[in-house]
Amino acid sequence: MRRRSTFLLTAMCFGFAFLYVPILSLIVYSFNESRLVTVWGGFSTRWYGELLRDEQVLEAALLSLQIGVVTATAAVLLGTLAGLLLARFGRFRGRLLFSGMVSAPLVMPEVITGLSLLLLFVSAEQLIGWPSGRGMDTITIAHITFCMAYVAVIVQSRLSSLDESMEEAAMDLGARPAKVFLVITLPIIAPALISGWLLAFTLSLDDLVIASFVSGPGSSTLPMVIFSKVRLGVSPDINALATIIILIVTVFVIIAGVLMSRQEKARARDAQRALQTQD
Amino acid sequence: MDQVSDATAQPSGRRPAAEFADTPWLDPAARPFIDVRGVTKKFGDFVAVDDVDLQIYRGELFCLLGASGCGKSTLLRMLAGFEAATGGQILIDGTDMAGIAPYERPVNMMFQSYALFPHMTVESNVAFGLKQERVPRGEIRDRVAEALQLVQLSAFAKRKPHQLSGGQRQRVALARSLVKRPKVLLLDEPLGALDKKLREQTQFELMNIQDEVGITFVVVTHDQEEAMTLSTRIAVMNQGRISQVGTPSEIYEFPGNRFVADFIGSINLLEGRVAYETDDFVAVLCPELESELRIDHGPSVQEGQKVWVAIRPEKIAIRPDSGGALPAGNAVRGVVEGLGYLGSETIYRVRLDGNGDGGAAGGRMIEATAPNLTRSARRAVDWDDPVVLTWDSAAGVVLTS
């Protein structure tokens, strides 16, 4: 085997160290006995136990999950409609403006999105009395607003690579347009919808800035709780919480990776078989 | 079958008289099965289909032939209902198709890309159309099995489209569009995505299947060889208009105008003026040729009228020039300037001697082909040989447009 260059090896080590040393140290310190985060006091899992008894963190986690699920689902519904319009409606007056406006939330600074939504909610409450106060509802609406843009972009790109004659063929064979969408288009773009949902869910779970603007008393999402706890000084149970989150994410990524590579292999095998049985 | 037998019950949709069984377009009493009347389609300012009239009869295998952008696909899509005509009328089996959605038309289409549903098995792909009609489950199973057998794919029923080769996908698409037993099957470049060998084989399969099911086929193609092999009749399209409609041999041997003559196969077009007309032939004087051209049975022409004479290369005989006088008409002298050996035949490109001025350069090029009848390695005519080209007075066609 060819000897690898020392320079490349060093570069790789530094790169990985840069990415993973902080995370590793966080995981290691989550098993720290000591109350002082930076002083090693022996191995222990006491902070995990403490975390499970921390009502505030559990509540926030539950709230974040709820918001995430509702947001992702609604964003997929609305984003798919926007994506469909962009990919299928052909040319219409103001199409460029529309597509630019749909993707604006992708590049808009979060502070501006958050602030403008806060202003909207406040004046809407004054004008029509809804939403009364700020809480889970307003956070969810705010999250749907910016997640929708991501879903629209994903769905649009999937749809534009879809052979339109497939839909025409279904119609030609007697299916009405609504049926064509349900039976042909939807199953074919399903992977895009799933990845759009997961992306929206992650974005919602992750968001601190926008949620801070539009949340109200008693409705703190998990990132908000973590942030406020850390501001008072890093406590070891946050390390434990972070470790759990990392663990969950890792498991999901591995499962998705395994599934995708299996699918890829099956596809390659099928293609091979098709070539062999060609007549 | 229901749709079809319903149609036969109508008096006008009766079976053609026996003498016209294979050529219903000659039967004066026959009513066209597909009647395209003055159909125009505009996309903005662009006229894709320009005032087209077309009659297609029951059981025909009709080809729309033309270069890309000539409007043939647009015409097909109007028959399927994916495009609405800007003007004119389309009747299928006597019913005006205006305002009838694609999913309500008695036609099915086979797409150029096949458009198989990737998430369904071969079986479900074929069954899709029947399910939309709410055909009972048992009948669906039987008819799908029958359709797959017709295209010899019974063994592949459980496969997904991406597990099939191109030729197999093509046949699934065919089975899927045939299984509903439409009145008309529209095929958009059905063999376009196949390689040459498979295409030739599939052409004959397609003809056999059409013969077996007896459905009227309308095929769009840009491949003239495909059109010639498959069709009962061909419509040659050019810039949204129909240049000529006829059987393959009519189109080839009696092209109606210069576009058709030039588009189908290779041809020598000679421009000239009518010199005189006898009972037997028309004589055309062509400034590029020494001798006059004599052509049997032309269209009625006037003396002095500008015409084109079209002669197919394979109808021109080539022989070494042994000196001596040329026959009175349809003979020219020249020199072989190019020679293409194709195996089955050889193409000669012959530069004609100038008009009587003793072989000045710049004479006209005439193409002649000759079948290679023997395996002899030595050619009777070779590069730079002086030759005489002759042809029969029945070989050429006089074109006035």
- pLDDT, tens digit (0-9, with 9 covering 90-100), for B30-54: 889 999 999 999 998 899 999 999 9
The pLDDT assigned to A229 comes to 85
The pLDDT assigned to B235 comes to 95
A70 vs A138: CA distance, rounded Å: 12
C-beta atoms of B167 and A277 within 8 A: no
B232 vs B207: CA distance, rounded Å: 10
CB-closest option in A165, A173, A174 to B113:
A165
Does B192 contact chain A (CB < 8 Å)? no
User: What pLDDT band is residue A169 in, cutting at 50, 70 and 90?
Assistant: very high
Superfamily of domain B266-399: Nucleic acid-binding proteins (2.40.50.140)
CB within 8 Å of B309: residues ≥ 6 apart: B269, B270, B272, B284, B286, B293, B295, B396, B397, B398, B399
Nearest chain B CA: its distance from A188 CA (Å): 7
B390 vs A190: CA distance, rounded Å: 69
Does B375 contact chain A (CB < 8 Å)? no
- pLDDT, tens digit (0-9, with 9 covering 90-100), for A106-125: 888 999 999 999 999 999 99
Least confidently predicted of A62-71, A113-122, A243-252, B143-152: A243-252
C-beta atoms of B163 and A171 within 8 A: no
CB-closest option in B82, B128, B162 to A267:
B162
Q: Considering the domain A23-244 in this protein, what is its CATH number?
A: 1.10.3720.10
Least confidently predicted of B103-117, B170-184, B197-211, B232-246: B197-211
Residues of chain B in contact with residue A181, where contact means CB-CB under 8 angstroms, are none
Residue type, A34: S
The rounded percent of chain A whose pLDDT value lies above 90 is 37
User: What pLDDT band is residue B116 in, cutting at 50, 70 and 90?
Assistant: very high
B360 vs B353: CA distance, rounded Å: 6
The pLDDT assigned to A158 comes to 85
The pLDDT assigned to A277 comes to 57
Average pLDDT of the segment spanning B86-111? 93
CB-closest option in A174, A179, A187 to B133:
A174
C-beta atoms of B111 and A169 within 8 A: yes
Average pLDDT of the segment spanning B304-308? 86
Q: Is the pLDDT of residue B215 over 80?
A: yes
Does B164 contact chain A (CB < 8 Å)? yes
User: What pLDDT band is residue B298 in, cutting at 50, 70 and 90?
Assistant: low
The pLDDT assigned to A2 comes to 62
The pLDDT assigned to A184 comes to 92
The pLDDT assigned to B354 comes to 60
Residues of chain A in contact with residue B168, where contact means CB-CB under 8 angstroms, are 274, 278-279
Nearest chain B CA: its distance from A275 CA (Å): 6
The pLDDT assigned to A172 comes to 94
The pLDDT assigned to B323 comes to 79
C-beta atoms of B165 and A165 within 8 A: no
Q: DSSP H helical segments within B10-81, as ranges? A: 72-80
One-character DSSP codes across A195-212? HHHHHHHHHHHH--HHHH
User: What pLDDT band is residue A74 in, cutting at 50, 70 and 90?
Assistant: very high
- What Rg, from alpha-carbon coordinates, does chain A have? 24
User: For A178, which residue in chain B has the nearest alpha carbon?
Assistant: B103
B167 vs A105: CA distance, rounded Å: 47
Q: Is the pLDDT of residue B7 over 60?
A: no
Does A170 contact chain B (CB < 8 Å)? yes
Q: Tokens 């002759």, residue?
A: B390
C-beta atoms of B165 and A176 within 8 A: no
Q: Regarding predicted confidence, which is higher, B287 or A171?
A: A171
- Residues facing residue B346 across a β-bridge: B341, B370
User: What pLDDT band is residue B247 in, cutting at 50, 70 and 90?
Assistant: very high
The pLDDT assigned to B2 comes to 42
Tell me how far the alpha carbon of residue A43 is from its chain's centroid. 34
User: What pLDDT band is residue B355 in, cutting at 50, 70 and 90?
Assistant: low
Residue type, A10: T
pLDDT, chain A, mean? 86
Mutate to test the interface with A, among B164, B185, B187, B198 (most CBs of A within 10 A): B164
Nearest chain B CA: its distance from A238 CA (Å): 45
Q: Regarding predicted confidence, which is higher, A151 or B292?
A: A151
C-beta atoms of B163 and A163 within 8 A: no
Average pLDDT of the segment spanning A157-177? 90
Q: Is the pLDDT of residue A264 over 70?
A: yes
- pLDDT, tens digit (0-9, with 9 covering 90-100), for A40-51: 888 888 888 888
The rounded percent of chain B whose pLDDT value lies above 90 is 48
Nearest chain A CA: its distance from B208 CA (Å): 18
CB within 8 Å of A15: residues ≥ 6 apart: none
Nearest chain A CA: its distance from B152 CA (Å): 11
Nearest chain B CA: its distance from A85 CA (Å): 19
User: For B155, which residue in chain A has the nearest alpha carbon?
Assistant: A277
Residues of chain A in contact with residue B81, where contact means CB-CB under 8 angstroms, are 172
The pLDDT assigned to B6 comes to 41
> Do the interacting molecules here have an ipTM over 0.85?
no
Average pLDDT of the segment spanning B63-77? 93
pLDDT, chain B, mean? 86
Nearest chain B CA: its distance from A187 CA (Å): 7
User: What pLDDT band is residue B362 in, cutting at 50, 70 and 90?
Assistant: low
> Alpha-carbon dihedral of residues B353, B310, B257, B253, nearest 10 degrees?
-160
- pLDDT, tens digit (0-9, with 9 covering 90-100), for B148-176: 998 889 999 999 998 898 889 999 999 99
User: What pLDDT band is residue A84 in, cutting at 50, 70 and 90?
Assistant: confident
SS (H, E, C) A74-118: HHHHHHHHHHHHHHHCCCCCCHHHHHHHHHHHHHCCHHHHHHHHH
Q: Is the pLDDT of residue A92 over 80?
A: no
The pLDDT assigned to B272 comes to 87
The domain segmentation of chain A, as residue ranges, is 23-244
The domain segmentation of chain B, as residue ranges, is 32-261, 266-399
User: What pLDDT band is residue B11 in, cutting at 50, 70 and 90?
Assistant: very low
The tokens describing A20, both together, are 């993973």
The CA–CA distances, whole Å, from B69 to B46, B92, B110, B161 equal: 11, 25, 19, 30
CATH class of B32-261: alpha beta
